[in-house]
Chain A
Amino acid sequence: MQDEDFVTIRLTVNGGTHRLVVEPRRLLADALREDLGLTGTNLGCEHGVCGSCTVLVDGQSVRSCLMFAVQANGHEVMTVEGLARGGELHPLQQAFWEKQGLQCGFCTPGFLMTAYELLQHNPNPSEEEIRSALSGNICRCTGYQQIIEAVQSASQAVAGASATVPSGTGA
């Protein structure tokens, strides 16, 4: 591999800025997981169907297995590691815990990021709106119901709380 085949990029991830030297073909998922050690984002299919690897780029959900790291150059990325503040779970994480909206946890980061995006745009979604928003994420364990209940519960928690509720760091 020649040096000119590498590109220097700058990613802001969960509020911190990183300089990376990557091949143009390097997936954003691999840059996050392997280069930055943010292994919370999981790869389930690597062809853009399952949604496990969903992260937010400038507040919009993307499949990090379908996006190159170079495409995120200069942009703000938020991963599941950006949700909790210190030891305190984000209200969405708290609601997923309360309703047990997970079992093996592998798809969960993708669901959390998708649900986070939904609540940013629609703080009080109906069940139909939640189902629609989550329809691109596959979970093989839960049968989804407790995930839906968790998102409903989180939306109420967020709506019921004051503006001091942490909204995550990246978006």
Chain B
Amino acid sequence: MTTTTNSHTWIGKDIKRREDPDLLTGRAEYTGDVKLPGMLHAAVLRSPYAHARIVRIDTSAAKKVPGVHAVLTGREATVVLDPLPAFCAEPVVEHAIAVDKVRYAGEAVVAVAAESRYIAEDALELVQIEWEPLPPVIDVLEAMKPDAPKVHENLPSNVVYEHVFIFGDVDGDFARADHIMKRRLRWPRATAAPMEPAGAVCKYDPPSGRMEVWSTTNMLNYVGWLIAGSLKLAPHMVNFYPMYTGGSFGSKHVTSKVIAIAGALSKVTGHPVKFMEDRIDNLAANDAQAADRIYDAELAVTKEGKFLSLRLHAIDDYGAYFVFAITGNTNMMSQISGPYTIGSLENGIKAVLTNKNQQGVFRGAGSDVGNWVLERLVDATSDELGIDGIELRRRNFIQPNQFPYKMPTGNVYDSGNYPGVLDMALQHANLDYWRQEQVRARKLGRYIGIGLATCQQRSTYSATEFWFHNPGPATGLTTTAESVRIGIGPTGGITVTMFSPFWGNSPETVVSQVVGEEFGVDPTTVSVAYEGTSQGLPSAGPGGSRMTVMLSGAVQGAAAKVKEKMYKIAAHLLEASLDDMEVREGRVWVKGTDRSLSLTDIGMKAYWNKFDLPADMESGLEGSFTYDHPYTTAPSEDRKDLGVFYPIMGHAAHIPIVEVDIKTGQVKFLKYLAVHDVGTVVNPRSLQGQIRGGIAQGIGVALYEEVRYSPEGQNLTTTMNDYLVPTVAEVPHIEIYHHVTPSPFTAYGVKGGGEGGRMVAPPAVTRAVEDALKPLGVKIDELPMTPEKIVKWVTQAQAKTP
């Protein structure tokens, strides 16, 4: 249901995914499927304490178990293993296996390699550890106090990072405002929990110093050289193979810990070693728990409902380590003022360490939280000023003629039509009917609520977001390139090689469709391959909703190189001008004539008929292209301007209709409507799948998902019985429409759409539940809205109104 006409042949065509047949028949090879001669299996003993010193470890009995090849404590592992790679500037050191002290319940203490996972786990049961428990630091507000026990003794405080970013005249705008909306808001610690836990198989070859790695990591080319440092290997001696990955949602960007454990055990035993997390390993220790924030949030508003300025102060519970620094907070500064013309803003960040598994990345990467906080303030404004939420948004939207739009932090929004997206949503929402239903139901004691959220979905990250929170000159990573190689064989068949792996997205389909477009061939005839890092070209890998944008650009660039050579060959053979060449329908034509050569004609000449080529031309027909980020700039040294770092900006409007059972706290969806604008659509059905899956995860964090810890620091959600992700019973039918505003900066005008569903659903669902409970006066300031919380809110509200 795309609204604009499509001038392309294959871009935007709703073809079946290229990836699926192998996945449907069980032939796709995931990391856990790898089996090598002599391969051992690893298992890990985890800390029962949230915070404790390791006094003594006795592994002698474990070592005697037949079939056990190695038992490694953290201290012993340091011979082959340095600390894990970290992106933070702060001296927060993490070992793959804890050395001397554990900082969260579930941290690895001993690793075993044995002939089977069964034997490895038997051996772990025989390990004796003497512990000195330390007082755990669990509550984030307690952790901030000066006398709190320290998670890392080398740091002055558990507040590991603190800074207030100010963009524009925030104080002045607040002074000028007629109203200030204030809320204290609580976003829960969720986690990606992909169906495939993380894992790795490492095979070390002592004579050559080479290591081969089959793993679940998505960022092969980053991780390769980072983990080489931890494993004390030369980076070019480590080869990562691209594996099919069973979902990531951000959690498998690095997965350095599983690689380090398998790699260390392989170095020690001389055997290939497989270490796959089981679900408990994953939920307790995957290093991918997500934003866990308390916000003091304020919006300065005029009496007409115009938003002037936004002031946010966050306390974020980062857990025991700090691998990605505060990327979850920097990320949201790309779209923190949303689709609205807010002139100034302040973003205060306190990152706090506690005795919990650390934060990593989860779909949205903090921008999910930002959207929820902003829309909570917009809804509060609507309620307090008595301005309808739709009208209020219209008054504040950036208008279509204002793009490219530089927002207060310095990031640029490339293009958009926010009123158009909202109009499309309203056109399909049938709100008049639902408002009548709402009135009718309330008379019967039933509570129906209508939600609305209009949010940004940034895509295509730039690496500056990893470090610009630290002041000073631009010294960090600035490259996030993606490469492909296109080869046309002697018989005219086209092969595209990618250098980043499949992780549940549709890279094979995307590159096939773009190649189809570029050469005028049927995408199903294109052969797609993945390459490991030893043969690799620069590729940052999937993340930050970038792959469709980056692969489209890379394919277009490589295709241009191949076409240039094809044109030279064809012009030479057809005795025509180079300028008159064009490719369509799989042939190179002399424009405006019926003279042409097929790809096979040209391929045969390129590979086998040197005499027929132009004199100075080398044989073969292939082109590689490394596509750099389409639009990124450096931050200013004073960080009053963060530069352009996430400019490919999508947008969405969601309208869920829910019914809340106030006795049981159950929330039932009566309708869910989503309109997304992610620029030019490459493949409608795979985009719809991404949106629906993202909305399911957004419903998850709105209603169910939370990693919970006891006051002693025990993780209470280490099984899928306890960490509740939505099942088919909870996720409704989701109606999707596409609005198309192409990006001016990318190939074909594509934008990334991988995270939008999860970034927009939480505020929409929150508003729907709040609207349902409006007659009771319930205000919602925290997620997830579990049944027990809803019943509690309703009970409290009823107690207030006699």
Contact = CB atoms under 8 A, between A and B. Distances in A.
- Bound together: yes
Interface of A: 1, 23, 25-26, 30, 33-34, 37-47, 49-50, 52, 79-81, 83-84, 89, 93, 96-100, 102-109, 112, 131, 134-148
A42 B23 contact: no
Given A102-B23, A146-B688, 20 more contacts: A40-B26, A45-B719, A50-B195, A81-B26, A97-B21, A103-B686, A104-B247, A105-B20, A106-B247, A131-B728, A135-B728, A139-B728, A140-B193, A140-B725, A142-B689, A142-B692, A142-B693, A144-B727, A144-B728, A144-B731
B720 A84 contact: no
A102 B692 contact: no
Given A39-B33, A44-B195, A104-B194, A141 B504 contact: yes
B196 interface: yes
A97 B16 contact: yes
B16 A137 contact: no
A42 B22 CA distance: 14
Contacts of B731: 143-145
A42 B196 CA distance: 8
Residue of A30, A42, A45, A136 most packed against chain B (CB within 10 A): A45
Contact of B28 (A33, A98, A105): A105
B693 A103 contact: yes
A98 B16 contact: yes
A135 B728 CA distance: 6
B199 to A, nearest CB: 11
Given A46-B278, A135-B728, A135-B729, A145 B194 contact: no
A95 to B, nearest CB: 10
B26 A39 contact: yes
A89 B24 CA distance: 9
Interface in B113-133: 117-118
B120 to A, nearest CB: 13
A144 B727 CA distance: 8
B734 interface: yes
Interface in B357-388: none
B728 A141 contact: no
B246 A105 contact: yes
B32 interface: yes
Residue of A26, A39, A112 most packed against chain B (CB within 10 A): A39
A46 B118 CA distance: 13
B503 interface: yes
A104 B195 contact: yes
Contacts of B693: 103, 140-143
29 contacts: A1-B67, A25-B118, A30-B117, A41-B26, A43-B32, A46-B278, A46-B279, A47-B279, A79-B26, A80-B25, A83-B25, A89-B25, A93-B21, A93-B25, A96-B20, A100-B689, A102-B24, A105-B504, A106-B196, A106-B246, A107-B195, A139-B195, A140-B193, A140-B195, A140-B247, A143-B694, A143-B734, A144-B692, A145-B731
B428 interface: no
A50 B20 contact: no
Interface residues of B, number: 60
Given A25-B118, A45-B279, A89-B21, A104 B26 contact: no
B29 interface: yes
Q: Which 7 A-B pairs have the closest CB atoms?
A: A40-B26, A105-B23, A106-B246, A104-B504, A143-B692, A143-B696, A39-B33
Contacts of B685: 99-100, 146
A103 B247 contact: yes
B30 A42 contact: yes
Contact of B23 (A108, A139, A140, A145): A108
Contact of B727 (A44, A106, A138): A138
B183 to A, nearest CB: 29
Nearest to B279: A45
Nearest to B729: A135
B19 interface: yes
B413 interface: no
Contacts of A23: 118
Contact of A42 (B195, B506, B697): B195
A34 B35 contact: yes
Contacts of A147: 728
Contacts of A138: 195, 720, 725, 727
Contacts of B279: 44-47, 50
B689 A141 contact: yes
B719 A49 contact: yes
Residue of A23, A49, A105 most packed against chain B (CB within 10 A): A105
A42 B689 contact: no
A145 B30 CA distance: 25
Contacts of A143: 689, 692-696, 731, 734, 757
A43 to B, nearest CB: 7
Contact of A96 (B24, B695, B696): B24
A83 B27 CA distance: 12
B275 interface: no
A56 to B, nearest CB: 14
Contact of B733 (A83, A98, A108, A145): A145
A63 to B, nearest CB: 12
B66 interface: yes
Contacts of B757: 143
B26 A80 contact: yes
B711 to A, nearest CB: 25
Nearest to B683: A100
A97 B21 CA distance: 7
A105 B727 CA distance: 16
A93 B719 CA distance: 30
A36 to B, nearest CB: 12
Nearest to A110: B195
Nearest to A37: B35
A143 B690 CA distance: 9
B33 A33 contact: yes
Interface string B192-212: 111111000000000000000
Contact of B719 (A47, A100, A109): A47
A88 to B, nearest CB: 11
Nearest to A134: B728
Given A47-B279, A81-B25, A97-B20, A106 B728 contact: no
Contact of B249 (A93, A140, A145): A140
A39 B195 contact: no
Contacts of B337: none
B244 interface: yes
Contacts of A1: 66-67
Contacts of B246: 42, 44, 104-107
Contacts of B194: 104, 106, 140
A103 B20 CA distance: 8
Residue of A44, A79, A145 most packed against chain B (CB within 10 A): A145
B779 interface: no
B505 interface: yes
Nearest to A139: B195
Contacts of B67: 1
Contacts of A93: 21, 24-25
A131 to B, nearest CB: 5
Contacts of B27: 40
A39 B694 CA distance: 28
Nearest to B66: A1
B721 interface: yes
A99 B495 CA distance: 26
B734 A145 contact: yes
Contacts of A140: 192-195, 247, 249, 693, 697, 725
A49 B725 CA distance: 11
A103 B687 CA distance: 11
Contacts of A38: 26
B245 interface: yes
B182 interface: no
Nearest to A80: B26
Contacts of A30: 117
Interface in B1-48: 16-17, 19-30, 32-33, 35
Given A33-B33, A38-B26, A97-B21, A104 B503 contact: yes
